Amino acid sequence: MSLLSKKAKTVAKIILFLVVSVFLTVLGMAFSWNQVHVPDWRGKAAIVLLLPFWVINSIFRSFSPDGHLSPLSYRIAFVLASVGQLAYYFAIMTFMKWGISGIRRRFKTSEKGNQ
């Protein structure tokens, strides 16, 4: 495999990761907005999808005397939560990749044992 194709594969993985992360984040935001009008399972899904935003905003709001953020602290919280969101999805996808590869390995070894 040439160096160019390795770089292209790496860039494609990064782009795919960012697209999936943005999709899941937007989906979580839509679920949280919908939760206001119709409380159902989507509220819990929104918490799972937007966990870093919830944690960072809770931390920043705990330091605010009235629970409201100034524009500067809101921007800082948003940037930190966005980075945390990417790290959160990266960790989840990495664990999923490890789990799937482990299952595939076990499946392959059980197939060899049955032959």
Average pLDDT over residues 54-71: 87
Q: Do 70 and 87 reside in the same domain of the chain?
A: yes
Residue 17 backbone dihedrals phi, psi, to 5 degrees: -60, -45
Angle ∠(66,34,23) on CA atoms, nearest 5: 100
Residues 31 and 65 in one domain: no
Q: Do 100 and 84 fall into the same domain?
A: yes
Q: What pLDDT score was predicted for residue 115? A: 60
Domain count, the chain: 2
Q: Whole domain around residue 95: which residue ranges?
A: 52-115
pTM, 2 dp: 0.76
Indicate whether 113 pLDDT > 70.
no
Question: Quick one: what percent of the chain has pLDDT higher than 90?
Answer: 45
Q: Give the pLDDT confidence score for residue 69 in this predicted structure.
A: 84
Residues 6+ apart with CB under 8 A from 28: 45, 46, 48, 49, 50
Note whether 23 and 60 are same-domain residues.
Answer: no
